Structure 1
């Protein structure tokens, strides 16, 4: 299969060199692809993930591909507001600033709604919304010092359109879109841009595992996507580069959908 151009990235985006970039959920998937993309631009990348083993492997892979990369790995759960505060204090001690927040940590929650346990509902909201807010607040408290900064919150196309058996996931991701718009309006006078990125079905390790186990039908998903394929983590990372860069300096409060045309497709 021919890989998209962004899987062999050559595009360079302005204004990212030397920026301190905090990426949550950086241990794998889209978060890891974002970390690599920003390291490619000579940004200083802070990888934050709840899984210590995955995090260590991610930082090792990053430094192997970009030996000169300046990176920091912090193991913390975004659902723990005190741990998030400590993590950002660690970033302060090393770099003294935060320029870009890539709020990528999140979980899926696919369950028939009549069977959805209250604990499952709370977990989806806690990780996908509460944790994201804690990181937004900590990052912005530092960005106001320099009157500049970019927050990019990973939502989902299911924050724009709905699907059955995903009530908790859709609700949490729709809230991420609304929160991003609210913060964009509030923080624009302070020099902070806030946007949401809304991926469609992306070929992450998690999705590949679900396909292998028969929990997802990749052919069916591709057939409903006008581009007739799933996306790659690198394609979402390229969109993140644009939104965080000076090329998007007048873009804030926007929900940027990258789904191969899924949400535009009303034809079954």
Structure 2
């Protein structure tokens, strides 16, 4: 896919990684359809685009609303007649008291956005991507591979995304669509990376019998320092753009060295190549 002729739709562009990726992709020459649930929150994105000297096609998209998904992707097809790439970025954080102290509604809401929203957007995009032999890129998380205490719902959703995309990748690849999951670690300039004291106090107060365990966990976080772990949204955005431009991107793309090493605690097949090569043989698509 060449940048000059690529139409890329990015979800969740009002802030953070989505905002940075929209601007970075437009700067690289892509035509960017930047979507968000509430377009009244578009000012930071539009200001960043203006500062970078790029134009964006801003559209409303709520990945949890079937009508919104259909309307958005049908609109892109009418406008451009094609879609070369989808970047699934929309998501919500969920640093909650542990299972007993949360609610089923909160757990379901997390999965609705972070997993089913990804599935809904991908499902709508696939016919267009197949026609263009395009790219399906999803923002994952190290917590989609390694579970994080007191973050069960978010980890469950990201684990589900990993499994879904790993299963889809060989089949999509056989039909011309390359699937990748970009895996950031600690992104320090987003709401996912900010963990203010008020949140700690709130979760601590709501943790009931788990409060001492939560306190130990917070103390451990504070003792780590996380040198080399943190990265900025812009750095992740550059990895996403590189993945879009790569001739044969790997399935799993750690966004920095720390993320790669962290995944290594659990994975020996760090970029997913071994599993993908094996899975392709199961559907009659061995590597050339």
Using structure 2 for the length normalisation, give the TM-score.
0.78
User: Does the CA-based 8 Å contact 1:27-1:49 persist in structure 2?
Assistant: yes
Tell me how far 1:120 sits from its aligned partner: 0.6
Aligned to 1:4: none
User: Does the CA-based 8 Å contact 1:149-1:192 persist in structure 2?
Assistant: yes
Aligned to 1:153: 138
1:129 equivalent to 2:115? Answer yes
> Quick check: which one's helix share is greater?
2
1:255 to 239, 252, 256: 252
Aligned to 1:230: 230
Aligned to 2:49: 62
User: Does the CA-based 8 Å contact 1:200-1:258 persist in structure 2?
Assistant: yes
1:142 equivalent to 2:142? Answer no
2:27 to 19, 36, 40: 40
Distance of aligned partners of 1:129 and 1:221 in 2 relative to their CA distance in 1, 3 Å threshold: farther
Q: What whole-Å deviation, never above 9, does each CA across 1:125-148 have from its counterpart, x for those lacking one?
A: 1000101011111111111223x1
Distance of aligned partners of 1:221 and 1:87 in 2 relative to their CA distance in 1, 3 Å threshold: farther
1:195 equivalent to 2:180? Answer yes
Aligned equivalents of 1:80, 1:205: Cα separation in 2: 24
Aligned equivalents of 2:91, 2:78: Cα separation in 1: 26
User: Does the CA-based 8 Å contact 1:200-1:260 persist in structure 2?
Assistant: no
Using structure 1 for the length normalisation, give the TM-score.
0.83
Distance of aligned partners of 1:220 and 1:259 in 2 relative to their CA distance in 1, 3 Å threshold: farther
User: Does the CA-based 8 Å contact 2:187-2:193 persist in structure 1?
Assistant: no
Tell me how far 1:58 sits from its aligned partner: 1.4
Tell me how far 1:258 sits from its aligned partner: 2.5
Larger radius of gyration: 2
1:204 to 174, 189, 213: 189
1:79 equivalent to 2:80? Answer no
Aligned equivalents of 2:141, 2:92: Cα separation in 1: 11
Aligned to 1:183: 168
Aligned to 1:19: 6
Structure 1: any 5+ residue segments left out of the alignment?
1-13
My pick for the range that moved more, 207-216 or 94-103, is 207-216
Tell me how far 1:257 sits from its aligned partner: 2.2
